[in-house]
Chain A
Amino acid sequence: MAAPEKLLTPGEPPSLAQAQSQVDPPLINLKPVNWFFDLNRAMSLWPVTFGLACCAIEMMSASMARFDIARFGAEVFRPSVRQADLMMVTGTVTRKMATPLVRLYEQMPAPKYVMACGNCAISGGPFKFDGQYAVVEGVDQLIPVDVYVPGCPPRPEAILEGVFKIQELITGRRWWPLPREMAS
């Protein structure tokens, strides 16, 4: 059995330890093979069912009828982190949630990506003020973040755009056309 967890005594702040996870280098490091698997990874990003605060509502809305993240193959919300690829940190990371969050991140198997959704996850958002004691100011203090999606909350389109950015990060190119105003 693992060592018993230290219980928090009242008044003692939870530790803000960085996530430790080690990823082995690929056994077969050939360019076409990597390109092929990267393409497949980008096209099936399964997120963890992991919502922390109000931004999670936007994540749910992004997977439902009007916005439908399923079109890009990213709708399989896995309850177990072992089978997921993408962690959307949607919402306020409190100090108490920091430990489970880090543990969940460490439990994900290797090609794993993190999207910080909303101002809270990026920098503490509206909860950042002098003398605040409860909120982690930015989830990147705990785990490495790949894509930041700003907004309070970000619109579902922004979350979709974050998924595209992660796909771009994996494969090196953008796959879907830009909106008309942005393209011109």
Chain B
Amino acid sequence: MDLSLAIFVQIIAAVLLIIALMVGNAVVMVYMERKVAGFIQRRPGPYEVGPWGTIQAICDSMKLLAKQLYRPGNVDLILYYLAPVLAFFPVLLLFLPIPFGPWLTALHINEGIVLILAFAGLGVLSNLLAGWASNNKFSLLGAARAVAQTVAYEIPMILALLAVVFLSGSMDLKRITEQQGQWPWEWNILLQPLAFFIYLVSLVGETNRAPFDLPEAESELTAGFHTEYSGMGFALFFLSEYANMLLVSFVAAVFFLGGYKGPIADGFWWLFIKAYAVMFFMVWIRWTFPRVRFDQLLNLNWKWLLPLGLLNLWATAIIMKIFL
């Protein structure tokens, strides 16, 4: 009884901290994204609102908060309001098994990665509901694309992660971290470079970001599945998109980049530095590459990433069997 109460309190505290992390992350990422976009296009980006434009993201969120909530006629009332909430809450759950530091895991379970991969699929359900409930052809097309894309990119992602799971013989995120050393040459990225590459490509597809942001391709679909959402509904989709990015970056950091381990002192700071490096990479390619076509997107996945992932898995298994 005592033990379960302790765990309960621990989870409540963790969820509160994770919500704070998600919101803070969205503010930082909006600023970083617009600033990086500016620098890539040789302009300063947000500059005048606050020192170097630092409170720009807060102004934006306050404005979205005070914007008229607009509900078009003919929408499916329950699903229309449920979808943004559903986009936001599963992501919360996904942060629970991430080991932030040697003593800092919200919920230590030995199949953490299964939990993450299982609930990551719920995010796309909310996109589907949003597109369906809006009763708008562009939303529906965007939602259909989101589902096709996410389902396709989940498979190479799992194959890439599975190769690391083979290496370390565990699905526990903490143990996977513990098996990597402090220094960069002891990390899994050197043992599994191909898996890291596959994961890096498929995480962009998984989070629906450019160059794979076909669900919201504005040249064809107005704004994709969130065309009909104004104000806070839109803001929640935005928030969950950035939270999803943070999550896949955390998983990349834990699986391939040594998690919370790093030179000099272990701790959550190393995890955050690595995760934000991956996020910076995602922002960088978003503003430098044009959007791919839908058939190119699926061809890349089914014809290249999936066979490569299978081969990699196979080779890993054989090498493990022979040499270890």
Q: Is the CB of A83 within 8 A of B34?
A: no
CB-CB < 8 A to B227: which residues of A? 80, 82
- The verdict on A37 contacting B66 (CB below 8 Å), with A1-B74, A73-B59, A82-B229 known, is yes
Restricting to B170-215, which residues have a CB under 8 Å from any CB of A? none
Do A109 and B69 touch across chains, with their CB atoms under 8 A apart?
A: yes
Closest to A37 in B: B66
Is the Cβ of B70 less than 8 Å from the Cβ of A80?
no
**Nearest CB of chain A from residue B198's CB, rounded to whole Å:** 31
Give which listed residue, B60, B66, B73, B230, contacts A73 with CB less than 8 A. B60
- Complex Cα distance, B205 from A103, in Å, reads 34
Q: Number of A residues contacting the other chain (C-beta, 8 Å)?
A: 34
Question: Of the candidates B38, B56, B60, B234, which one forms a contact with A68 in the assembled complex, judged by CB atoms under 8 Å apart?
Answer: B38
* Shortest beta-carbon distance from B273 to chain A in Å: 27
One digit per residue, 1 when the CB lies within 8 angstroms of any chain A CB and 0 when it does not, for chain B 220-231 equals 001100111111
Q: Which residue of B lies closest to A84 (CB)?
A: B230
Q: B67 near A44 (CB under 8 angstroms)? A: no
CB distance A176 to B229 under 8 Å? no
A-chain residues with CB within 8 Å of residue B63 when the two chains form the complex = 37, 40-41, 43-44, 85
B49 in the interface (beta carbon within 8 A): yes
Are the CB atoms of B59 and A44 closer together than 8 Å?
yes
Give the CA-CA distance A160 to B42 in the complex, in Å.
18
> Does B90 make an interface contact (CB < 8 A)?
no
**Other-chain residue from A23, A68, A83 in contact with B44 (beta carbon distance below 8 A):** A68
Number of interface residues of B (CB under 8 A): 35
Q: Tell me the minimal C-beta distance from A160 to chain B in angstroms.
A: 11
> In A56-84, which residues have CB < 8 Å from any B CB?
64-66, 68, 70-73, 75-76, 78-80, 82-83
On whether A82 and B228 interact (CB within 8 A), knowing A44-B60, A73-B49, the answer reads yes
Give the distance in Å from the alpha carbon of A109 to the alpha carbon of B228 in the complex: 11
Q: A43-B49, A71-B48, A176-B48 are in contact. Are A80 and B223 (CB under 8 A)?
A: yes
B residues 60-82 near A (Cβ < 8 Å) are 60, 62-63, 66-70, 73-74
Instruction: Tell me whether A49 is interfacial, beta carbon within 8 Å.
Output: yes
Indicate whether A36 reaches chain B with its CB closer than 8 angstroms.
yes
Asked if B41 is at the interface of the complex by the 8 Å CB criterion, the answer is: yes
Expressed in whole angstroms, the Cα–Cα distance for A66 and B202 within the complex equals: 36
**Cross-chain contact A44 with B56 (CB below 8 angstroms):** yes
Q: With an 8 A cutoff between CB atoms, is B47 at the interface?
A: yes
Q: Can you give 9 A-B contacts (C-beta < 8 A)?
A: A1-B74, A24-B68, A41-B63, A43-B63, A49-B218, A70-B47, A71-B43, A79-B218, A80-B223
Task: Please list the 9 inter-chain residue pairs (A to B) with the smallest Cβ-Cβ separation, ordered nearest first.
Answer: A110-B68, A79-B218, A80-B223, A109-B68, A40-B62, A71-B47, A68-B43, A82-B230, A43-B59
Binding site for B on A (CB under 8 A): 1-2, 23-24, 36-37, 39-41, 43-44, 49, 64-66, 68, 70-73, 75-76, 78-80, 82-83, 85, 107, 109-111, 175-176
Given contacts A71-B44, A85-B63, A111-B66, 19 further A-B contacts (CB under 8 A): A24-B68, A37-B62, A40-B62, A40-B66, A43-B49, A64-B41, A65-B41, A70-B38, A71-B43, A71-B47, A72-B49, A73-B53, A73-B60, A79-B218, A80-B227, A82-B228, A83-B226, A110-B67, A111-B67
